[in-house]
Amino acid sequence: MRPLSVLVAATLTAASLAACGGGDDSKSATPQADPSTPFTPSASDEEVAEPDTWPLTGLPVADGDSSVEKHPILVTKIDNTTSSAPQVGLSKADLVVEELVEGGLTRLAVFFYSQVPDNAGPVRSMRASDIGIVPHDDATVITSGAARVTINRIQGAKIPFIQEGGAGTYRDTSRSAPYNLFAHLTATAKSIKQPEVRPADYLPWGDGSDLPQGKKASSFAVQFSGGHTTEWSYDGDGYKNTNSNAGADDQFPADTVLTLQVKVGDAGYLDPAGNHVPETQFVGDGQAWLFHGGRVVRATWHKDALSSILELEFKGKRLTVPAGHVWMELVPAGPGNVTWQK
């Protein structure tokens, strides 16, 4: 296996402009960024050497599997409240990032690449925090839309996106709005031009052989606010989100849960419901907890600037993430917001 690269992460600033209850899904009054040039294979495309690992999991590509996908990474913004139940498509995701939004609730940025489900959702709006979550050169965001100021920031970061009305999006009439927007991601993927090169590795992948032993942790909880805590348990094979909004047969298969404690400030404006909009400050230093194999390794993360590479460190040495499916928690810093039991 060749050496693995690390994705250069950009800014992570959570600037949400709309109430999670539904006012945040209005489409921009101006046209969206258009990433959807139809893909047409060429001789040079067919000659691209196939990578040996998947960029979002670090796992080896099976013989005969096509690792040069005909689409970029698809980052789908999915609601994470009880109103979204059942969420659709998480079992096919490579990686998930959970982020804070208004009202102390959370939203998911769900990454699809090695597998693309026919259906995913409910699709909700983008946040400026996605600028630091989405790999700019390798991904397209599927979203219901966003407020104008968020659109401006996403376009300024040159992140392409497809919003309601774009390829593959549809409303499920059996559900209530705004929790009824979904995407046929197979159709969406076919509409987007293939990246020229393999996407960079999203995390500093390792094989787990150098992972510190850590402490036993059979269950743990990540508290985002007084109104939302994400709960996990280890079943001997991987981690189950015990208060997930996904269907029982559509759960994300988490091998690792990487929790990063981040500072959250005020974005300086109000959402349509009059709530202050939080802004995640993903720069500097913070505590990190890597849950893997029923144990937890307490470490630190560091970024020199918003656009710097995310680094993990344990006792002065670089820490890698065991290859597999990872759920990342970007939790506000605070005492006692990450707890576990043996």
Domain 205-341 in the same topology as domain 23-30+53-59+68-190: yes
Contact predicate 77/125, CB 8 Å: yes
Chain center to CA of 121:
14
- Locus of tokens 């499920």: 172
Domain ranges in the chain? 23-30+53-59+68-190, 205-341
Bond preceding residue 86 cis, omega within 30 of 0: yes
d(CA 81, CA 228): 9
Please report, in tens digits, the pLDDT of each residue of the chain (342 residues total).
Answer: 433 333 333 333 333 333 344 445 444 433 344 444 433 333 344 444 556 899 999 999 887 665 556 789 999 999 999 999 999 999 999 999 999 998 899 999 999 999 999 999 999 999 888 988 898 888 999 999 998 888 998 999 899 999 999 999 999 999 999 999 999 999 999 999 888 888 988 999 999 999 999 999 999 999 999 999 999 999 999 999 999 999 999 999 999 999 999 988 777 667 778 877 777 777 789 999 999 999 999 999 987 766 667 889 999 999 999 999 999 999 999 889 999 999
Chain center to CA of 339:
22
Dihedral sign, Cα of residue 70, residue 161, residue 159, residue 254: negative
Q: What is the pTM of this model?
A: 0.85
Sequence-ordered list of residues with C-beta below 8 angstroms from that of 63, at least 6 positions apart, any chain: none
User: How far from 220 is each of 96, 192, 231, CA to CA, in Å?
Assistant: 18, 39, 6
Q: Does domain 205-341 have CATH number 3.50.90.10?
A: yes
Q: Does domain 23-30+53-59+68-190 have CATH number 3.50.90.10?
A: yes
- Locus of tokens 């090695």: 114
d(CA 260, CA 100): 12
User: How far from 56 is each of 94, 182, 304, 321, 326, CA to CA, in Å?
Assistant: 6, 23, 23, 11, 9
Contact predicate 162/169, CB 8 Å: yes
- Locus of tokens 């979204």: 84
287-298 core/surface letters (b: 16 or more CB in 10 A; e: else): bbbbbbbbbbbe
